[in-house]
Amino acid sequence: HTYSILINMRVVIQRVSKASVTVDHNITGSIGQGYVILLGIEKEDTIIDSDWLCKKITALRVFADTDGKMNLSVTDIEGECLIISQFTLHAGTKKGNRPSFIKAARPDQAIPLYEAFVSRMQDALTKPVQTGKFGADMQVSLINDGPVTIIIDSKTRE
């Protein structure tokens, strides 16, 4: 039998008309039209997952063209991105009512992958990527445009 390790970097992408993140009463990131990306990193994730997600996200066609159809990518519209680390995307809720976060990567593994993801997104976009603060208590404010919210999982490649 062949066994494979299930890798599972997970993102929630929200198409926004504007968004910001606040840490300790200070705005650390603010964008206009583009994406808020909530990024959850699991223990088994690698740079391959990060690279695949960046390519997928920047190519997604969810912005309206001149005919009003979702046909343009964030790069086509020269949109912005606000990236927020969110380990709770890997909450396990199978047993009991208190979520388990055992699958979430520890900071020593997650921080380099988070930074690589931010760097890769920055390379792909024409405007600076905005971020929160890894591991901090953050308040995210956004106007979800549409609303359009998409979940992508690097394990299932969808």
Of 88, 126, 139, 149, the catalytic one is 88
Residues 6+ apart with CB under 8 A from 39: 9, 10, 11, 83, 84, 85, 86, 89, 114, 117
Of 14, 58, 86, 131, the catalytic one is 86
DSSP symbol at 92: B
Gap between the terminal Cα atoms of the chain: 26
Residue 86 appears among annotated catalytic residues: yes
By C-alpha distance, which of 39, 42, 43, 36 is closest to 15? Answer: 36
Residue 87 appears among annotated catalytic residues: yes
- Report the half-sphere exposure of 57 (CA within 13 A, side-chain side): 38
Helices marked H in the chain: 47-59, 107-124
Of 14, 63, 87, 117, the catalytic one is 87
Positions annotated as catalytic residues are 86-88
